Amino acid sequence: MELQWWSILPFVVMLASIAVLPLVPATSHWWEKNSHQLLVALVLGLPVAVWMLVAIGWEPVFASVVEYIQFISLLLALFVVSGGIFLRGDIQATPRNNTIFLAIGALLASFVGTTGAAMLLIRPLLNTNREREYRVHTVLFTIFMVANCGGLLTPLGDPPLFLGFLRGVPFTWTFNLAGEWLFVNAMLLSIYFALDSWYYSQEPAADILADKTDIEPLGLRGANNLIWFVVIIAAVAFAPSIDAEAIEAGHATVMDWIPLREMIMLAAAAASYKLGDKRARFEDNQFEWGPIAEVAALFIGIFLTMIPALRYLDEVAGSLPLNEITFFVFTGGLSSLLDNAPTYATFFEMAGQIPHPGGATVAGVPELYLRSISLGAVLCGALTYIGNGPNFMVKSVAEARDVEMPSFGGYIGRSFMYLVPVLAAMVLLFIANPLWAKLLGVVLVVVLLANNVRLLRSSRRLALADA
């Protein structure tokens, strides 16, 4: 069955609901309840699932449900385990210390996953900055770097790269993206440091004084939960899950039906919850189920309504002008709206079927295209709240700590202000081939760094005036 353009409308309505309902006075309070979010997701998603079952068959619905179970199981396990680990203490919330926090988080993201790193870092980062008035930009850059861009170096870092690993991409191949990882995260760190320095100079004197006087050495509480982190990471790397492709093809074994990976991860989460440090979880971290409940409710609607959207994309792919630049643009743009893992898988399969541009291949895909697809799926997941699962979780945790986060559209505006110029410079310097593109990339970097210098000078002038 060939789908028409209107088949993506339920998905568009789902996105519009996430973007608009929290902003409309008549629906904003109604939308805050997870049960109401789930109601909207099911009202939109279930009819689409039934339609796909009748019109196409059970296979695409089954695959989407399996992917949702795998997706939410990983997020739930990491959320529960990280909730039992508390970095106690309170250091001064200076721009330097905050930047070090983000740098550590960006490095951890590639080895414990963007979800694990984000959930580990966001609470101590918020605790450190609790005396400060201006905190929104710190949460935004946590989403940019720790929940997304930091996870580029290994298949453990982000689900799209893990899908590539399952499809035959060598585990160490992603280390080839180290240059792009270092460039993007270093640029974001430099922008954050300048921006946080400017906001720091705007902080009320009483808040700065409270921050300086309320100091406590750092220490780790609930460290035994690190064992469960290792169990989850090992399960992701080595344990099998439901093999939807084998089941759809009709040659599945008994083991292909068993979600062993998810069973191990959820067992680790249950052990962490029951055996972990209760003070670290409930008193220090103020653990609650709201953030993961919100993600679970919204993404079931996203996964179901995007079934026809992904199928329609697959049908029109042959008419798309695909090259190393457009693979990044298409994969990245759609990863910011669709979940980035199935988007990666769609373009991965597509890249293996189009005319070969020459050069090396990896898992049957031209390496030139695989780089663009990997970069687009991971980095551009930060462009919206729904581009990657941890984004909404970080937002929810921050809002639970009384940080007024931007709306859906407001977040996109911030990402286009801070993140998109860095990604554009990366594309020009690392992906585009013409010399003029490289020179344009250098110019863009100079402009970004010059703006950083301007902010730093302005913050120093304000600091001297206050002194």
Residue 247 burial class via C-beta count within 10 angstroms: exposed 0-12, middle 13-18, buried 19 and up = middle
Q: Within a 10 A sphere around the Cβ of 230, how many other Cβ atoms?
A: 11
| Main-chain phi, psi angles of 218, to 5 degrees | -75, 145
What is the C-alpha to C-alpha distance for residues 349 and 235, in angstroms, rounded to an integer? 25
Phi-psi category of residue 333: left, alpha or beta, with phi > 0 → left and psi -120 to 50 → alpha = alpha
DSSP symbols for 213-255 = HS-EEEEEE-TTHHHHHHHHHHHHHH-----HHHHHHT---SG
Indicate the SS3 state at residue 87. Answer: strand
What is the C-alpha to C-alpha distance for residues 264 and 80, in angstroms, rounded to an integer? 14
Record the pTM.
0.84
What are residue 220's DSSP bridge partners?
87
Give CA 239 to chain center in angstroms: 23
DSSP symbols for 448-463 = HHHHHHHHHHHHHHHH
C-alpha triplet 138, 140, 143: angle, nearest 5°: 110
Q: Within a 10 A sphere around the Cβ of 189, how many other Cβ atoms?
A: 17
> Which residue, among 392, 404, 397, 399, has the nearest Cα to 83 in the 3D structure?
397
| Main-chain phi, psi angles of 339, to 5 degrees | -65, 140
| Owner of token pair 């039906």 | 257
> Which residue, among 288, 237, 294, 292, has the nearest Cα to 265 in the 3D structure?
237
Indicate the SS3 state at residue 89. Answer: strand
| Owner of token pair 């801070």 | 418
What are residue 366's DSSP bridge partners?
361
CB 339 within 8 A of CB 302: yes
Helix pair angle (34-55, 290-316), 10° resolution:
30
Over its length of 467 residues, how does the chain's per-residue pLDDT go in tens digits?
678 888 989 988 998 898 788 878 888 889 989 999 999 999 999 999 999 999 999 999 998 899 889 888 988 998 899 889 887 777 888 999 999 999 999 999 998 889 889 988 998 899 899 899 999 999 999 999 999 999 999 988 888 898 788 778 898 999 999 999 999 999 999 999 999 999 999 988 888 888 888 777 778 889 899 999 899 988 987 899 898 888 988 888 998 999 999 999 999 999 999 999 999 899 888 888 988 898 899 889 988 998 898 788 777 766 778 889 999 999 999 889 877 877 888 788 788 877 777 788 998 899 999 999 999 999 999 999 988 878 988 998 999 889 999 998 999 999 999 999 999 999 999 999 999 999 999 999 999 999 999 999 998 887 666 65
Token pair, residue 304, equals 């179901």
CB 301 within 8 A of CB 45: yes
Indicate the SS3 state at residue 93. Answer: coil
> Which residue, among 310, 385, 298, has the nearest Cα to 345 in the 3D structure?
310
The one-character DSSP state at 419 is T
The one-character DSSP state at 320 is S
* Residue 90, H or E segment: strand 86-90
Residues 6+ apart with CB under 8 A from 43: none
